Structure 1
Amino acid sequence: MNTNQTIPDYIFESSWEVCNKVGGIYAVLSTRANTLQKKFKDRIIFIGPDCWQEKTCPYFKEDLSLFPDWRNEAEKDGLRIRTGRWAIPGNPIAILVDFNIYYKDKNTIYTQLWEDFKVDSLHAYGDYDEASMFSYAAAKVVESFYNKYLGKEDKVIYHGNEWMTGLGLLYIKKHLPQIATIFTTHATSIGRSIAGNNKPLYDYLFAYNGDQMAEELNVQSKHSIEKQTAHNVDCFTTVSEITGKECEELLDKPADVILPNGFEDDFIPKGAFFTKKRAAARKKALQVANALLGTQLDDDTLIVSTSGRYEFRNKGVDVYIEALNRLLRDNGMKKTVVAFIEVPGWCGEPRQDLIERLESGKKYDTPLDVPMITHWLHNMSHDNVLGMLKYLDMQNRNEDKVKLIFLPCYLDGNDGILNIPYYDIILGNDLCIYPSYYEPWGYTPLEAIAFKVPCITTDLAGFGLWANAEKGRYCEIEDGVKVVHRTDYNYSEVADRIKETIIKFSNFTPAEVNKARSNAYKLSKKALWKEFIENYYIAYDFALNKAEQRKNNLN
Structure 2
Amino acid sequence: MLFPDYIFETSWEVCNKVGGIYTVLSTRAKTLQDKIKDHIIFLGPDCWQETPSPYFKEDKKLFAAWQQQAASEGLAVKVGRWDVPGEPIAMLVDFQSYFAHKDEIYAELWVYYHVDSLHAYGDYDESAMFAYATALVVESFYRFYLSEKDKVVFHANEWQTGFAALVLQHRLPQIASIFTTHATGIGRSIAGNNKPLYEYLWAYNGDQMASELNMESKHSIEKQTAHYVDCFTTVSDITATECKELLDKPVDLVLPNGFENDFVPKGATFTKKRKAARKRLLDVANALTGDDIQDDALIVSTSGRYEFRNKGIDVFIESMNRLRFDENLKKQVVAFIEVPGWVAGPRQDLVERLNSGKQFDTPLEKPVLTHWLHNMDHDNVLNMLSSLGINNAKGDKVKVILLPCYLTGDDGIMNMSYYDLVLGNDLCVYPSYYEPWGYTPLEAIAFKVPCITTDLAGFGLWANTEKGKYSEIEDGVKVLHRTDYNYSEVADGIKDTIACYSCFTKTEVNKCRSNAEKLSRKALWSEFIIYYEQAYDIALKKAAARNK
Equivalent residues in 2 for 1:127-276, closer than 5 Å:
127-276=123-272
The CA deviation at 1:65 is: 1.2
CA RMSD of aligned residues (A): 0.6
The CA deviation at 1:334 is: 2.2
In the TM superposition, what whole-angstrom CA distance separates every residue of 1:441-474 from its partner, at most 9, and x where no partner exists?
0000000000000000000000000000000000
| Cα distance in structure 2, aligned partners of 1:137 and 1:407 | 38
The CA deviation at 1:111 is: 1.1
Equivalent residues in 2 for 1:98-109, closer than 5 Å:
98-109=94-105
In the TM superposition, what whole-angstrom CA distance separates every residue of 1:122-172 from its partner, at most 9, and x where no partner exists?
111111111111111111110000010001111000000000001111001
**Are positions 1:87 and 2:83 aligned together?**
yes
User: Could you say which residue in structure 2 is the equivalent of 1:432?
Assistant: 428
| Cα distance in structure 2, aligned partners of 1:498 and 1:145 | 52
User: Could you say which residue in structure 1 is the equivalent of 2:448?
Assistant: 452
SS at match of 1:453: coil
Aligned with residue 286 of structure 1, among 278, 282, 295? 282
Aligned 8 A contact 2:328 2:500 in 1: no
Count how many residue pairs are aligned between Structure 1 and Structure 2: 548
Instruction: Give the TM-score normalised by structure 2.
Output: 1.00
The CA deviation at 1:486 is: 0.2
**Are positions 1:45 and 2:41 aligned together?**
yes
Q: What are the ranges of 5 or more consecutive residues in structure 1 without an aligned counterpart?
A: none
Equivalent residues in 2 for 1:50-61, closer than 5 Å:
50-61=46-57
The amino acid of 2:229's aligned partner reads V
| Cα distance in structure 1, aligned partners of 2:525 and 2:319 | 34
SS at match of 2:242: helix
The CA deviation at 1:296 is: 2.6
The CA deviation at 1:332 is: 1.9
| Cα distance in structure 2, aligned partners of 1:299 and 1:57 | 40
| Cα distance in structure 2, aligned partners of 1:99 and 1:417 | 37
| Cα distance in structure 2, aligned partners of 1:213 and 1:551 | 36
Aligned with residue 346 of structure 2, among 344, 347, 350? 350
The CA deviation at 1:333 is: 1.3
| Cα distance in structure 2, aligned partners of 1:386 and 1:148 | 56
Aligned with residue 462 of structure 1, among 445, 453, 458? 458
User: Could you say which residue in structure 2 is the equivalent of 1:379?
Assistant: 375
User: Could you say which residue in structure 2 is the equivalent of 1:370?
Assistant: 366
| Cα distance in structure 1, aligned partners of 2:56 and 2:258 | 23
User: Could you say which residue in structure 2 is the equivalent of 1:327?
Assistant: 323
The CA deviation at 1:81 is: 0.6
Aligned 8 A contact 2:99 2:129 in 1: yes
In the TM superposition, what whole-angstrom CA distance separates every residue of 1:492-541 from its partner, at most 9, and x where no partner exists?
00000000000001100000000000000000000000000000000000
User: Could you say which residue in structure 2 is the equivalent of 1:306?
Assistant: 302
**Are positions 1:21 and 2:17 aligned together?**
yes
In the TM superposition, what whole-angstrom CA distance separates every residue of 1:165-209 from its partner, at most 9, and x where no partner exists?
011110011000000000000000000000000000000000000
The amino acid of 1:278's aligned partner reads R
Aligned 8 A contact 2:294 2:332 in 1: no
User: Could you say which residue in structure 1 is the equivalent of 2:546?
Assistant: 550
**Are positions 1:393 and 2:389 aligned together?**
yes
The CA deviation at 1:298 is: 2.7
Equivalent residues in 2 for 1:453-492, closer than 5 Å:
453-492=449-488
SS at match of 1:160: strand
| Cα distance in structure 2, aligned partners of 1:496 and 1:438 | 19
Tell which deviates more after alignment, 196-205 or 51-60: 51-60
Instruction: Give the TM-score normalised by structure 1.
Output: 0.98
- Structure 1 outlier segments of 4+, above 3 Å: none
SS at match of 2:528: helix
| Cα distance in structure 2, aligned partners of 1:289 and 1:135 | 45
SS at match of 2:251: coil
| Cα distance in structure 1, aligned partners of 2:297 and 2:428 | 14
**Are positions 1:505 and 2:501 aligned together?**
yes
Q: What are the ranges of 5 or more consecutive residues in structure 2 without an aligned counterpart?
A: none
User: Could you say which residue in structure 2 is the equivalent of 1:409?
Assistant: 405
SS at match of 1:33: helix
| Cα distance in structure 2, aligned partners of 1:551 and 1:217 | 39
**Are positions 1:518 and 2:514 aligned together?**
yes
Aligned 8 A contact 2:291 2:395 in 1: no
